[in-house]
Amino acid sequence: MRQSLLAAEAGKNGKRPPGRPRSERARQAILGSTLKILEKDGFSDFKIEEVAARAGVGKATVYRWWPNKGALIADAFAGNTTRKLRFPDTGSVYSDMSRQMQQLVKIFRSRTGRIVAAILAAGQTDEDLIAAFRDRFLWPRRREAYETLRRGILRGELPKNSDLNLILDSLYGPIYMRFLIRHDSLTPEFVDSLCALVLRGVTPRTKNSNRQASPDSLA
């Protein structure tokens, strides 16, 4: 595969053909190989040498971009899921949050979910791994979520003094708990009920009623 990768980079006249540079193709090959190995063998048997061999690059090339396997694994997972986990802007904080949460649950229930579980489990004793997961996956999604909630505040759907961290922990904590503990199912109905419960709890009361807003009024 390494030879085919090099051959693809050179045209008949010895010049690189148009398209992504060689380094970017190699980088994507490394990330793709990382995901395939994790899905097949899990984290415990994961080796940089195997990634390099499968991607058709040298081990030094892998370490040029990633200081350790934790950073590589976190980047591979984040790159594979970021587009799917974008927060929409529908004009409703309830719809924006619930749709993104539904996508997260789909990923957790797919084969990719095995990678997340392996990262979180191994991260309890591997500080580099859990730090990479936070920095490269969790915090970028968290910052997007902050913006989504702030839009809800500007529209008057949430109080101005809302604790954004508490809201997000309340929304996503139960998802991670069901995903890891498996005491109950991760279903679309669960996500809808969870989102409605949390956001209803922080929705401002109307002037003409002491009754808190329903999920329909947030949608």
Q: Describe the crossing of helices 93-109 and 112-122 by its angle, rounded to 10 degrees.
A: 90
Contacts 24+ apart (CB under 8 A), 82-88: 82/140, 85/141, 86/144, 87/144, 87/145, 87/147, 87/148
Mean pLDDT (the chain) is 86
pLDDT digit string, tens, across residues 1-34: 444 444 444 444 445 445 455 699 999 999 999 9
What pLDDT score was predicted for residue 3? 45
Burial per residue of 123-162, b for 16 or more beta-carbon CB atoms within 10 angstroms, e otherwise: beebeebbebbeebbeeebeeebeebbebbbeeebbeeeb
Q: What CATH number labels 79-206?
A: 1.10.357.10
Look up the pTM and report it: 0.79
Residues in the chain with pLDDT values less than 70:
1-22, 205-219
The identity of residue 76, as a single letter, is A
Q: What CATH number labels 2-65?
A: 1.10.10.60
Measured distance CA(153)–CA(93) in Å, rounded? 9
Q: How many residues does the chain have?
A: 219
For the chain, what are the domain ranges? Answer: 2-65, 79-206
Whether residue 70 contacts residue 131, with contact meaning beta carbons closer than 8 Å, is answered with yes
pLDDT digit string, tens, across residues 92-101: 999 999 999 9
Q: What proportion of the chain, given as a percentage, has pLDDT over 90?
A: 71
Contacts 24+ apart (CB under 8 A), 28-31: 29/5, 29/55, 29/56, 29/57, 30/55, 30/57, 30/61, 30/62, 30/65, 30/72, 31/72, 31/75, 31/76, 31/79, 31/80
